[in-house]
Structure 1
Amino acid sequence: MSAVSEADLLSRFGFYRSALYIRDIDTCVASDIHIGLAETLYRQGLHFPLHEEETLIERFEAILDRFNPAVFVLDGDIFHAFDRVSRSVVETFEAILATLRSECEVVLVTGSHDTMLPAVAGGTVERYDRGGYTVVHGDRPAGDHGTLVIGHDHPAIEIDMARFPCFLYGEGVFGGKDLVVMPAYNPLSPGVTINHMQRRDFLSPILRRVDAGSLQPVVEVDGETVVLPPLAGIRRFA
């Protein structure tokens, strides 16, 4: 099975702290922020401080310093809870927006968890199209599109008994167009191990139409970006 070289992929994209930088359009994307996940875990009995706001903002600041994008797209599931948004969640959200808007334009793409987002933020969109790229959350079919960037499935890969959040890249795999699947941005989300997943195992209707074995995982290991072979090849040696 053919694979895209690491050099070719990195000439087009930057991968850092679970965010994607699209060099062609000077745009960063982060998906599945899940603001309020720490609050939910606390209500479920995890009674120690998780410092969610500080952690999320520190990551955003590092990404801004690395790429200095003109646009930053938050690609859905910005909030964690479907049915409520507490004052602390709103405060964290507003602090994140202030951090990003001090440096660039911000686009809010809604996801399946974001029923409350339009009431809190306004100006949300279901997709963002620019320069041959289409950013959608991935919980709905995409329609006409450019190179697709989606979230929703929280991919992670297991390597030598360690789990790493990962991007997935597929060249020409969806309607002849390329596909990038984002990991969950919130580090409290453990991710879903995709080593042996088939198309039927994914949540996204987009990914359920893709040959999962053709997707290449991209991971960050000790600050370095590593582009792995397609999943079909990894499975043969697992």
Structure 2
Amino acid sequence: MTDRGVEIDVPFAVHDRAVFVPAAETLVLADVHLGKAAASSVDAPIDDGADIRERLERLLTETDPKTVVIAGDLLHSFARLPRGVEHDLDRLLETVDAAGAEVVVTPGNHDTILETAFDGETALEYELADGETVACHGHERPKTTADRYIVGHDHPALSIEGRKRPCVLYGPDTYEGADVLVLPAFTRLAAGTTVNQLAGRDFQTPLVRLSDGFYPAVWDDSSGEALWFPPLEKLRKLL
């Protein structure tokens, strides 16, 4: 490993807490958790609705997708929508619409009342236009066969020199011969689960069985690119 990370050939581009699949012209993000700040018992350090919308707007400009897939947990609350969430969601959808893209939501375990706020397209498992990739939340085993799965649910983060950084985890051929891509939470209010020492049994998603072969990628704001690290099996000996 060098100070610039490792080189890896992947059919997607890692962005800040999201990935873009060029062959499908699709931007995928997960775990937006709108309403998390309002549901918190402490004052949130940021306006999560505005922060999410502004960062998504930057990603839309960078990638120019035809489709935006939210791979689960668009909402945070199970029983009722906190005040302001519907407004935040409307603004988010307007941002995507203004960019000329369509929104698809694959409901997650937190999205039990999704239909009360979102009347757009939903699918438990969404097949991307590349014909190879399926996006879903990842809290359940997928029924659709694919070459690659993009999921959320676990909020992965990598601890580097004592600092926790949200990361993408990419496992080639790790789930029944298919690749698995685990996204970090898009909301910055999620603490993230440190994956450095996690075994497969420690992950909540059933798509991660053995964690050793997963490559972490961390977005670097200063360079405007993703830095890839060796797979967790090797990385544990370096960090």
Aligned to 1:24: 23
The CA distance in 2 between the partners of 1:102 and 1:47, in whole Å, is: 31
* Structure 1 position 81 matched with structure 2 position 89: no
The CA distance in 2 between the partners of 1:173 and 1:47, in whole Å, is: 40
Change (3 A) 1:48 1:201: closer
Aligned to 2:104: 107
Q: How does 1:212-231 map to 2 (within 5 A)?
A: 212-221=211-220, 222=222, 223-231=224-232
Change (3 A) 1:150 1:48: closer
SS at match of 1:220: strand
Structure with bigger helix share is 1
SS at match of 1:65: helix
Superposed CA deviations along residues 131-186 of structure 1, whole A, max 9, x for unmatched, are: 21100100111123211000000000001111100000011111111110000000
Cα distance, 1:7 vs structure 2: 4.8
* Structure 1 position 160 matched with structure 2 position 161: yes
Superposed CA deviations along residues 77-115 of structure 1, whole A, max 9, x for unmatched, are: 000111111340111011101111222011011000001
- Compare 139-148 and 149-158 and name the one that shifted more: 139-148
The CA distance in 2 between the partners of 1:80 and 1:178, in whole Å, is: 28
Please say if residues 38 and 83 of structure 2, whose CA atoms lie closer than 8 Å, have aligned partners that are also in contact. no
Aligned to 2:115: 118
The CA distance in 2 between the partners of 1:196 and 1:23, in whole Å, is: 32
Please say if residues 118 and 124 of structure 1, whose CA atoms lie closer than 8 Å, have aligned partners that are also in contact. no
Letter in 1 for 2:86: V
Aligned to 1:141: 141
SS at match of 1:217: strand
Say what the alpha-carbon RMSD is for the aligned residues.
1.4
Letter in 2 for 1:127: E
Aligned to 2:191: 190
Aligned to 2:89: 93
SS at match of 1:115: coil
Superposed CA deviations along residues 17-70 of structure 1, whole A, max 9, x for unmatched, are: 2011011111000100000111122xx1x2366211211111011000100001
- Compare 123-132 and 20-29 and name the one that shifted more: 123-132
The CA distance in 1 between the partners of 2:36 and 2:175, in whole Å, is: 31
Letter in 1 for 2:235: I
Cα distance, 1:198 vs structure 2: 0.5
Letter in 1 for 2:66: A
The CA distance in 2 between the partners of 1:81 and 1:163, in whole Å, is: 25
Corresponding pairs, count: 227
Aligned to 1:72: 68
Using the aligned pairs only, state the percent identity. 32
- TM-score when normalising by structure 1: 0.91
Letter in 2 for 1:134: V
Aligned to 2:3: none
Change (3 A) 1:182 1:49: closer
Change (3 A) 1:119 1:48: closer
Structure 1, unaligned runs of 5 or more? none
SS at match of 1:72: strand
